[in-house]
Amino acid sequence: MQGQPRLFRTMTNNIERHPLSPFLPQQAQLLMLGSFPPKQERWSMDFFYPNWINDMWRIMGIIFYDDAHHFEIKGEKRFDRTSITDFCNERGIALYDTALEVRRLRDNASDKYLEIVTPTDISLLLQSIPLCHTIVTTGEKATDTICNTLQLPRPQVGGYSRGSYINRNITLYRMPSSSRAYPMSLHNKAAIYRTMFRDIGMI
């Protein structure tokens, strides 16, 4: 199942509902989970990690193409959604977030001021991707939320925990945030992500 983005937000008592549908290639081996998208005015494309100053797609460009700018549209401050979705389909990377509904306690995209009202039903995501046994979280709040759901120990940054969830063996990796607010260089982040991809046999 691959949902298309729903370009709206439902607001009830300041509650925001996730504006994107899960991206779930049927052959996905890896599920990447952030916390929640930034406000839509910060988007440079209608897909996950859309903020131009978020480095997730630069990290992927370094790892898989030796080029941090591979997924950027030349001369524009936008990512190439088609190139990214083709890449994720080809590599078997599923994407969503750990929160379905949130309240922003401040007018910014910081996880620190994000209150999760309704967590994502991870079991429903996994049912759509039967080959997936690896989950990656890309930030502290996402890690805390998924650890509570899966009842797994909280891994160190760059590390992993293993357990069972809905009769499936799961390895949970905690990766450094791709936000530039996270105090680590782009290439050091890419090195940690690269190790994870090697460990699970995707490169």
What's the CATH number where 19 sits?
A: 3.40.470.10
**pTM for this structure?**
0.90
Share of the chain above pLDDT 70, in %: 92
Looking at the 3D structure of the chain, how many domains does it have? 1
Instruction: Look at residue 108 in the predicted model and tell me its pLDDT.
Output: 64
- CB under 8 Å to 112, separation ≥6 — which residues? none
Per-residue b or e along 42-76, where b marks 16 or more CB atoms closer than 10 Å to that residue's CB: ebbbebbbbbeebbbbbbbbbbbeeebebbbeeee
Q: What's the confidence (pLDDT) of residue 110?
A: 67
| 107 within some domain | yes
Q: What is the DSSP letter of 112?
A: G
Mapped onto helix, strand or coil, the DSSP state of residue 181 is coil
- Residue 97 included in any domain: yes
Q: Tell whether 134 is covered by a domain.
A: yes
Q: Domain range for residue 65?
A: 11-199
Inside any domain, residue 2:
no
In a domain, 88, yes or no: yes
Q: How confident is the model at residue 5 (pLDDT cuts 50, 70, 90)?
A: very low
Q: Do 158 and 136 contact (CB within 8 A), yes or no? A: no
- Residue 54 belongs to a domain: yes
pLDDT at residue 7 greater than cutoff 60:
no
Query: Considering the domain boundaries, does residue 6 fall inside one?
Result: no
Is 4 inside any structural domain? Answer: no
β-strands 114-119, 99-104: how paired?
Answer: antiparallel
